[in-house]
Amino acid sequence: MVEKRHLRSERLVVKVGTSTLTHPNGKLNLQAIDQLCYTLSGLVNEGKQVVLVSSGAIGVGLGLMGIDERPSSIPQQQAIAAVGQTQLMTVYQQRFAIYGQKIGQILLTHDVVDYPISHQNVLNTFENLLQLNVIPIVNENDTVAVDELDHHTKFGDNDQLSAIVATTIDADLLIMLSDIDGFFDKNPRKFADAVLKSKINHIDEQTFEGAGGQGTKLGTGGMTTKLKAAQKMLNAGKSMILANGENPSIIFKLLQGDPLGTLFQTQK
């Protein structure tokens, strides 16, 4: 019998990637979104505090605009993100409302987190929303976030954003849902003998060498960005689970201690 995991999860951050929220054709995966909203609403009903970091604004925007490829121009990406973010939040509002769950939107840029007064204001917002049993839905503010000279506003990707949010609000656990079952010793899409690692206590250069490249054409993340997020969580003494988000109700099993996906946790 496989041993159950022991996790603290009174306050948790759930990150979902574009691959979970959309079909390959760019259209919204309404079944997955509904299941996600059902699951997170159930966790709040259990007394847990939940933050959702949601990708998908650009992916949804591309689908709405009938564009197949992510444009290279930053202004074009920002315009598409503005369209997609509105649609994404509308769908979340509708789906969460079915389960009687209230939500709030928080759009962040890196300088807001870096600047002490803004950082405290953002933290206060999170704390008050969580105390009110509201689920904050977080995304990078794609319409204004850029990297220009010393004005660093981009997080780079929502994988790392989710780890920054989790450590900022002192969450016990980050659950990252992706299009892969967890972290493998080599790329499972290229090597049939790739082995899933159930638990990782330490991340080093060798771990990063096992990571592949970028994820899907609609998303920006790959395994390297997920490892960087896991590294941030480990450095803060927190835990992270990387698991397949095809069926978001997997979160229930993860919190019950089922050994699915890869658990990043310091040795205890």
Question: What are the tens digits of pLDDT across the range 193-222?
Answer: 888 999 999 888 777 776 654 444 434 447
- Per-residue pLDDT averaged across 70-94, rounded? 89
Is 39 known as a binding-site position? no
Confirm if 165 and 137 have CB atoms less than 8 A apart: no
Q: Is residue 194 situated within a structural domain? A: yes
Q: Give Cα separations from 110 to 122, 145, 167, 238 (angstroms).
A: 12, 8, 14, 21
Report if residue 52 sits inside a domain.
Answer: yes
**Residue 268 banded pLDDT, cuts 50, 70, 90:** low
Q: Structural domain of residue 48, as residue ranges?
A: 11-264
Residue 172, marked binder: no
The CATH number of the domain where 176 resides is what?
3.40.1160.10
Query: Is residue 221 part of an annotated ligand binding site?
Result: yes
Residue 19 annotated in ligand binding? no
Whether the per-residue pLDDT at 2 is higher than 80: the answer is no
Q: Which residues pair with 11 in a beta bridge?
A: 49
Residue 249 lies in a domain: yes
| pLDDT above 90 for 17 | no
244 in a known ligand binding site: no
* Section 159-169 average pLDDT: 93
- Residue 25 counted as domain residue: yes
- Residue 90 assigned ligand-binding role: no
Q: What is the pLDDT of residues 125-162, one digit of tens each?
A: 999 999 999 999 998 876 665 554 343 445 567 898 99
Q: Is 3 domain-assigned? A: no
220 is in an annotated binding site: yes
226 located within any domain? yes
Residue 28 has pLDDT above 70, yes or no: yes
Domain count for the chain: 1
> Any bridge partners for residue 176, and if so which?
15, 242
Assigned domain for 58 exists: yes
5 part of a folded domain: no
